[in-house]
Amino acid sequence: MNTMKHEHIEKLIATEVEKIIAGTELELVDVEYIREKNWYLRVYIDKKGGIGLEDCQGVSEKLSKYLDEADPIQDNYLLEVSSPGLDRILKKDKDFVRYAGRDVDIHFFKPRDGVKDVVATLSGKDGNQLMVSIDGQSEAIEMKDIAQVRLHIDF
């Protein structure tokens, strides 16, 4: 079997994880297959109230079994199953719905009104626009201008 592109691997693994967590409270947040020093297959799961170690271990064991049997990935890689973390990146439409009302850090590809980063209150997503409130002003920002949206953490 020839080597699959990492996007294909991410899609394949996402489909498999959805099967594993079907009927549970768990939700798949993201799958990343990326090369750092080594290849990492990272699966991020979440549920209301947060996930525990058992959730991660359960998914990891079932996914490992699938990966051993189906063997879809040629490279040597490390599997990590974890929660998305406090400052998680918002990517999917349902993320923008779930976190409406929360503060987010928006990073632009190029400066917008002279700044590359802005903290805004997330209102939601409408098609290709991110709906936010910045300093009390409602704004619609084109998704194509946004490099990344993360949950804002106040320390």
Answer yes or no: is pLDDT of 1 > 70: no
What pLDDT score was predicted for residue 142? 95
Give pLDDT, residue 83.
Answer: 86
For the stretch 37-57, pLDDT in tens is 889 999 999 988 888 889 999
Q: Look up the pTM and report it.
A: 0.66
* DSSP letters spanning 44-62: EEE-TT---HHHHHHHHHH
Q: Which domains does the chain have, with CATH numbers?
A: 6-82 (3.30.300.70), 93-151 (2.30.30.100)
Distance, CA of 75 to CA of 38 (rounded, Å): 9
Q: Is the dihedral of CA 20, 22, 24, 29 positive or negative?
A: positive
Long-range contacts of 136-145 (CB under 8 A, 24+ apart): 141/106, 141/112, 145/108, 145/109, 145/110, 145/112
Phi first, then psi: give them for residue 58, nearest 5 degrees.
-60, -50
pLDDT per residue as tens digits for the range 131-142:
999 999 999 999
Banded model confidence at residue 113, pLDDT cuts 50, 70, 90: confident
